[in-house]
Amino acid sequence: MAVRPVVANLVLLCGSLFVTFGILELSLRVIYPAPIRFLYPQEFYDFDAEMEHVLRPGQTAFTHDHPVRINSLGLRDREITQQPGPGALRVLALGDSQTFGAGLALADTWPKQLERVLRGGVASSREVEVVNAGIPGTDTWQHEILLRRLLKMTNPQAVVLALYVNDVVPGYTPRRIGASAPTNTWDKQLVYLLKRSAVITWTYYRLFLPWYTRGGPASTIEEAVLTGKVDARAERGWQQVDRSLAAMKEACDARGVRLLVAILPRRDQVSGIHPGRAYQERARATSEAHGIEALDLLPDLSAEYRTKGDALFIPWDGHNSASANHVIAERLAQMARSWHATPDVSPRPERETPARLRPPARSGSATGNSPGPSP
């Protein structure tokens, strides 16, 4: 007889919790932007013996809720011929998830917006193609490796490297486990569903994530990079950036290719919350020491933030939105105007058979998820 009251109380408790959760969910959806919808499957990665991970060629997936199609070269772009068309301008865009366009449609990424701006420019008399070679979770030493491959495989006339704060890390020996975190297993599908809840999203980003990252190694290094504070690992990261930029400049010069470094700021720098500018200053100085043109995008994005505010960023995420990428593309286009009038002086190597960005598939090749800021 005593069981019935216990069951009744449990039912009442569960019902109360359900109603409370529903009220909180609706309230947070009114106060805050709606959570990001993660659709299945998110992009897949394969192990690469040099770079650790690359995008799996030929896949169709999603980045958040936007379609992702990866071509046969392992790039988020249309199929690319080895040689650009006669008289065409081909620009290769390198970078991490900010270039790939995590959470964005391909058309909203800065490489594709730059392509449209250059095509529509009154000074343009050439066909323009900006190839999106961004790979989430990659750093400068990996961009150096990717550049060497793509210079031969795509023959661009210009290269834009988008440098981000977390790219300032030392190189390391690739490990299969680094690319083997499963992306689309059943537990990840559950995570994708949970991310659609405003309550769970708010709890993660407002409570758990700050506690988890406060004082952690990654945040400590980024803080040192932003402020210029003495930090041994940050210094090793800058030394790696220096070596990679020198090697990238040498590789581009050998083929008559222009190289530009676009210095992307962190969100809290754009909003004015973080006053550190050491990252921008050292990135510019390091680039210019090797004769590489550098563009600091913090002033332009900060000016736009005063008008558009947090619309420059994907809600609950931190990646640049289409609006921020438009600012980046417009500013890069201003610097690229002279590329139209410059004859194509890139040496034309003998035609090669296009190769995929990763070595031949091995047995047991694993997939991995992007180590980006998403939970």
Query: Would you say residue 57 lies in a domain?
Result: no
- Over the stretch 67-113, which tens digit does the pLDDT of each residue have? 999 999 999 999 999 999 888 999 999 999 999 999 999 999 999 99
Percent of the chain with pLDDT over 90: 62
Query: Would you say residue 166 lies in a domain?
Result: yes
Domain count, the chain: 1
Instruction: Kindly report the pTM of this predicted structure.
Output: 0.86
Query: Would you say residue 11 lies in a domain?
Result: no
One-letter amino acid for residue 220 of the chain:
T
Average pLDDT over residues 199-222: 71
The pLDDT score that the predictor gives to residue 122 is 46
Residue 66, pLDDT > 60, answer yes
The pLDDT score that the predictor gives to residue 218 is 61
> At 358, is the pLDDT very low, low, confident or very high (cuts 50, 70, 90)?
very low
Supply the DSSP symbol for 313. B
Token pair 């992007």 is at which residue? 370
Query: Would you say residue 218 lies in a domain?
Result: no
What is the C-alpha separation between 257 and 32, in angstroms, rounded? 46
- Over the stretch 24-58, which tens digit does the pLDDT of each residue have? 989 988 888 889 899 989 999 999 999 999 999 99
- Over the stretch 300-327, which tens digit does the pLDDT of each residue have? 999 999 999 999 999 888 899 999 999 9
Query: Would you say residue 76 lies in a domain?
Result: no
> At 283, is the pLDDT very low, low, confident or very high (cuts 50, 70, 90)?
very high
The pLDDT score that the predictor gives to residue 87 is 86
User: What b-and-e string marks burial along 152-184, b requiring 16 or more CB atoms within 10 Å of the CB?
Assistant: ebbbbbbbbbbbbbbbbbbbeebebebbbbebb
Query: Would you say residue 255 lies in a domain?
Result: yes
Query: Would you say residue 51 lies in a domain?
Result: no
- Over the stretch 122-136, which tens digit does the pLDDT of each residue have? 445 678 999 999 999
Structural domain boundaries enclosing 329: 81-174+226-341
Residue 221 tokens read as 């290094």
> At 286, is the pLDDT very low, low, confident or very high (cuts 50, 70, 90)?
very high
- Over the stretch 3-31, which tens digit does the pLDDT of each residue have? 677 777 888 888 888 889 889 989 988 88
Query: Would you say residue 181 lies in a domain?
Result: no
The CATH number of whichever domain residue 150 belongs to comes to 3.40.50.1110
